[in-house]
């Protein structure tokens, strides 16, 4: 009965379509295809797309498939993505599953505007809010014995759970169920007691690692990118792709504080690519998918600090949560913040960028103090900046950037932004990790026939010194180090996956733990102390 109701709803959702959108689509599709059949398209969608993108097209593991989410995607490009899949995502190829006419039907379906634009407003957010415990009724000391700074939160996407792992004994402490598809990396309070989880479908969860309890839940959007925690532990900022908004929450109980519409000065709305906390600056940094701007939003009513820099921003109103807009050469889908939080190194991930050798699309360096671009990176392909890492090399600091289209790692001098070296790998990679106390950097080969490979790079020699293949045939990914850098934990990215612990010095395997697609693991100390070898 429920399935019939969903299908009936989707049929109404589709038939009441937008005429103008259909006319645009008809101009872009081959006239030899059969006429658009909403029933056929809906059935194809349910069979091949709904498990990742949702019955209502509002997104699950995959992004929303409605026209308001296609700011930079045209029907012809969507056709190619359905046929060939999409780099750096879980979008598979359908060229051997669907014929051209079926793909055309799906393209017309997803470009059909719903009867009403999906909304998730303050009233919806407030209605979803649930609190389970308060600090007053919970212990202010851990209820178990362990080094609380050496805990790991391991996200298991295979069955939507999180495991809390003892980083000394490598023994699970507890395991709890999460909302669907936790994404963007858990974030910690500065003392490591609380961890905040963001799911793809908009849920934010606060979990107490001392008491092993969920404190609060709230749904801030329909499709969410990630969460950031202010360094003073007072606020969270969450970036959404649907609706086009950023939501400020009170970190204590997750109650909503403010909704920030993501709109350019010309009135163009945008999805959020990512949000980060720039702790030394007392601000949040936002990357936007559909407008060529980067935003800085302070969370205190004071001047922004960057170590020994102190300055007033004329763009700021002087109040927290005001917006400093900075114009870019291109969209900022993906970026890296340096250790001082002064420089943003960013790149675009548009289809054009993927198919272009243009250096402008490769990467740009933006100075947050000067508020302008200062350098262009000589890098092609599709660099994955948010998984880049930096370390001290000779008399300078370098950044190493994996590439999710080319089999290479690019290393740049962060003083003059010149390329020092390109290291060839056995295929495109997604994650890099290291630790200040380790001589090695670990880089995966996430895509292609060598997805089971993990490369080891000597940080002093800037060259590959070993190649591991922990579980032949299964994807090796996302290494994270223990607090002191002695051990490296590696994920076997599979439904029937494992967490493998290696001695970080000898590179010998120490232990394996069965887990369900452990997509990432996050060490409390490394995250809260901004360890240079991990993502922030």
For 182-251, the DSSP string reads B-S--EE-TTSSEEEEEBTTSEEEEEETTTTEEEEEEE--SEEEEEEE-TTSSEEEEEEEESSEEEEEET
Report pLDDT for 405: 86
Report pLDDT for 496: 95
Structure tokens at 116: 């009403």
Q: Where in the chain is the domain with CATH 1.10.760.10?
A: 2-110
Q: Where in the chain is the domain with CATH 2.140.10.20?
A: 119-271+296-327, 331-359+381-536
Blockwise average pLDDT, block size 10, the chain, 536 residues: 43 40 43 74 81 77 76 80 75 85 84 79 96 87 97 96 98 96 92 96 96 97 95 97 96 97 93 92 92 92 50 54 88 86 82 40 82 89 89 95 92 96 95 97 94 98 98 96 98 96 98 96 96 86
Contact by Cβ (8 Å): 231, 527: no
160: three-class secondary structure by DSSP: coil
Cα 275 from chain centre: 9
In words, the CATH class of domain 2-110 is mainly alpha
Report pLDDT for 302: 62
Distance CA 261, CA 525 (A): 34
Report pLDDT for 85: 82
Domain 331-359+381-536 has CATH 3.40.50.10470: no
Radius of gyration in angstroms for the set of CA atoms belonging to the chain, rounded to a whole number: 23
Q: Which of 514, 459, 511 is nearest to 482 (CA)?
A: 511
Report pLDDT for 475: 96
DSSP state string for 405-445: SSSEEEEEETTT--EEEEEE-SS----EE--TT-SEEEEE-
Report pLDDT for 29: 44
Within the chain, what is the greatest distance between any pair of CA atoms? Answer: 69
Report pLDDT for 16: 39
* Cβ contacts of 249 within 8 Å, gap of 6 or more: 204, 218, 220, 235, 236, 237, 238, 255, 256, 257
Give counts: helices (H), strands (E), the chain: 10, 35
Query: CATH number for the 119-271+296-327 domain, one of 3.40.50.1980, 2.140.10.20, 3.30.70.20, 1.10.10.10?
Result: 2.140.10.20
Angle between helices 100-110 and 38-48 (to 10 degrees): 100
Residue 14's φ and ψ, nearest 5 degrees, are: -90, -45
Report pLDDT for 318: 56
* Half-sphere exposure (Cβ direction) of 517: Cα atoms closer than 13 Å: 9
């Amino acid at each position: 009965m429920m399935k019939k109701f969903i299908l009936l709803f989707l049929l109404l959702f589709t038939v009441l379509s937008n005429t103008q959108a259909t006319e645009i689509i008809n101009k872009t599709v081959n006239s030899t295809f059969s006429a658009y059949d909403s029933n056929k398209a809906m059935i194809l969608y349910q069979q091949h797309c709904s498990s990742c993108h949702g019955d209502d097209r509002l997104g699950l593991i995959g992004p929303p498939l409605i026209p308001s989410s296609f700011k930079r995607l045209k029907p012809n490009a969507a056709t190619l993505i359905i046929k060939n899949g999409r780099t750096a995502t879980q979008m598979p190829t359908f060229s051997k599953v669907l014929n051209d006419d079926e793909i055309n039907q799906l393209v017309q379906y997803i470009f059909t505007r719903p009867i009403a634009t999906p909304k998730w407003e303050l009233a919806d957010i407030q209605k979803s809010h649930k609190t389970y415990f308060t600090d007053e009724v919970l212990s202010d000391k851990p209820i178990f014995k362990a080094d609380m700074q050496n805990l790991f939160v391991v996200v298991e996407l295979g069955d939507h759970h999180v495991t809390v792992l003892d980083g000394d004994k490598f023994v699970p402490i507890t395991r709890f169920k999460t909302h669907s598809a936790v994404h963007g990396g858990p974030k910690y309070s500065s003392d490591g007691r609380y961890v905040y989880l963001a799911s793809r479908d908009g849920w934010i969860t606060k979990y107490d690692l001392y008491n092993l309890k969920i404190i609060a839940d709230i749904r801030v959007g329909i499709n969410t990118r990630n969460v950031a925690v202010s360094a003073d532990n007072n606020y969270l900022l969450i970036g959404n792709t649907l609706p086009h908004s950023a939501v400020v929450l009170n970190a204590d109980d997750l109650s909503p504080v403010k909704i920030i519409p993501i709109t350019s000065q010309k009135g163009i709305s945008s999805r959020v690519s990512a949000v980060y906390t720039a702790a030394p600056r007392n601000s949040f940094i936002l990357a936007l998918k559909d407008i060529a701007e980067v935003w800085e939003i302070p969370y205190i009513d004071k001047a922004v600090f960057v170590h020994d820099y102190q300055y007033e921003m004329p763009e700021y109103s002087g109040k927290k949560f005001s917006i400093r807009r900075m114009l870019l050469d291109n969209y900022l889908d993906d970026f890296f913040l340096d250790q001082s939080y002064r420089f943003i190194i960013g790149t675009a991930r548009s289809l054009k960028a993927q198919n272009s050798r243009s250096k402008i699309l490769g990467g740009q360096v933006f100075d947050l103090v000067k508020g302008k671009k200062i350098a262009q990176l000589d890098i092609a392909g599709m660099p994955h900046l948010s998984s880049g890492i930096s370390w001290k090399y000779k008399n300078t600091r370098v950044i190493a950037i994996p590439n999710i289209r080319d089999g290479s790692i690019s290393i740049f001098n962060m003083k003059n932004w010149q390329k020092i070296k390109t290291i060839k790998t056995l295929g495109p990679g997604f994650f890099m990790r290291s630790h200040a106390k380790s001589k090695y950097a670990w880089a995966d080969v996430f895509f292609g026939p060598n997805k089971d490979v993990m490369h080891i790079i000597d940080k002093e020699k800037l060259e590959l010194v070993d190649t591991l293949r922990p579980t032949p045939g299964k994807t090796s990914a996302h290494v994270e180090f223990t607090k002191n850098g002695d051990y490296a934990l590696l994920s076997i990215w599979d439904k029937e996956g494992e967490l493998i612990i290696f001695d970080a010095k000898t590179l010998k395997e120490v232990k394996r733990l069965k887990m369900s697609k452990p997509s990432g693991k996050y060490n409390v100390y490394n995250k809260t102390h901004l360890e240079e070898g991990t993502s922030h």
